């Protein structure tokens, strides 16, 4: 179980995360929604410890994640795998090598630098590519892929980390609707077939409603909605996205 207790983060005088308290149960598929600047990306970066909170506590299975450093922190970042909006792939490398990067946290540096991966690791990488429908492109240079294909490779790479928590930061914002649905489907498969807890940031509310069991709405660094997609009313949606027309009509 993931717990955030009065978590706070500031950038100068700007409060990005304002005393957020949140519990995510094992195996949940959670969509975090809100307009740009609401604090969605900062929240995921705090959970992964790519950024440090200025106050509060983040706990995973009764372990204080805010107190760890060094090797335990590196292990936590592997366990809470991140998927980014811009893929973060090495485009000059082939697809399977990009996926194999996901196991570097548990390998010696020198063999990794010369791409000396074990047969077991390579087999696992092909399996992960197959799960996202990309095994036939394993030896293709990554720079030749479409955006949707790159994001599916990024998901396969994250799965190589054997995570218990998957954090996806605006994973479909640069994709067309067809590819966006494919990427969301791959994340749902990771959640349902493997029981991985998934948290997805998005400002595309229709996708969040369609694929997530639970929605968390953020505005100005605070949680203003937490519930099932069906419970998100038009008034609440207007509050989340700051639509002046909807607010006036309400």
pTM listed for this prediction: 0.88
Domain ranges in the chain are 2-87+163-249
Write down the pLDDT at residue 190.
93
The predicted pLDDT at position 86 comes to 83
Let me know: does 155 contact 190? Beta carbons within 8 Å.
yes
Please give the pLDDT value at position 102: 87
**Predicted local distance difference test score (pLDDT) of residue 152:** 94
Dihedral sign of CA atoms 215, 218, 221, 222 in order: negative
By CB atoms closer than 10 A (0-12, 13-18, 19+), residue 211 is buried
Token pair in block for residue 3 = 């717990």
* Domain 2-87+163-249: assigned CATH number: 3.40.50.300
Answer yes or no: are the C-beta atoms of 129 and 153 closer than 8 Å.
yes
Instruction: List all residues 6 or more positions away from 69 whose beta carbon is below 8 Å from its beta carbon.
Output: none
Per-residue pLDDT of the chain (250 residues; tens, 9 = 90+): 999 999 999 999 999 999 999 999 999 999 999 988 899 999 999 999 999 999 999 999 989 999 999 999 999 999 999 998 888 899 999 999 999 988 876 655 445 444 668 889 999 999 999 999 999 999 999 999 999 999 999 999 999 999 999 999 999 988 888 889 999 999 999 999 999 999 999 888 888 999 999 999 999 999 999 999 999 887 778 777 765 433 333 3
């Amino acid at each position: 179980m993931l717990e955030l207790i009065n978590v706070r983060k500031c950038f100068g005088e700007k409060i990005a995360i304002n005393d957020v308290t949140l519990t995510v149960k094992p195996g949940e598929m959670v969509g975090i929604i809100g307009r740009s600047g609401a604090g969605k990306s900062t929240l995921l970066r705090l959970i992964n410890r790519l950024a440090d909170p200025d106050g509060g506590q983040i706990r995973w299975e009764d372990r204080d994640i805010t107190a760890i450093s060094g090797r335990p922190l590196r292990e936590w970042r592997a366990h809470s795998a991140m998927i980014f909006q811009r893929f973060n792939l090495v485009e000059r490398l082939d697809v399977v090598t990009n996926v194999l990067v996901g196991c570097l946290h548990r390998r010696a540096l020198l063999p990794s630098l010369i791409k000396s991966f074990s047969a077991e690791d390579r087999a696992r990488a092909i399996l992960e590519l197959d799960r996202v429908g990309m095994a036939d492109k394993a030896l293709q240079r990554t720079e030749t892929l479409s955006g949707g294909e790159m994001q599916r490779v990024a998901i396969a790479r994250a799965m190589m980390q054997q995570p218990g928590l998957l954090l996806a930061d605006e994973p479909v914002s640069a994709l067309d609707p067809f590819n966006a649905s494919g990427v969301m489907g791959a994340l749902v498969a990771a959640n349902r077939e493997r029981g991985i807890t998934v948290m997805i940031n998005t400002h595309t509310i229709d996708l969040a409603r369609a694929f997530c069991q639970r929605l968390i709405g953020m505005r100005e660094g605070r949680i203003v909605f937490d519930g099932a997609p069906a419970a998100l009313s038009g008034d609440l949606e207007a509050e989340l996205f700051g639509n002046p027309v909807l607010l006036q009509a309400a």
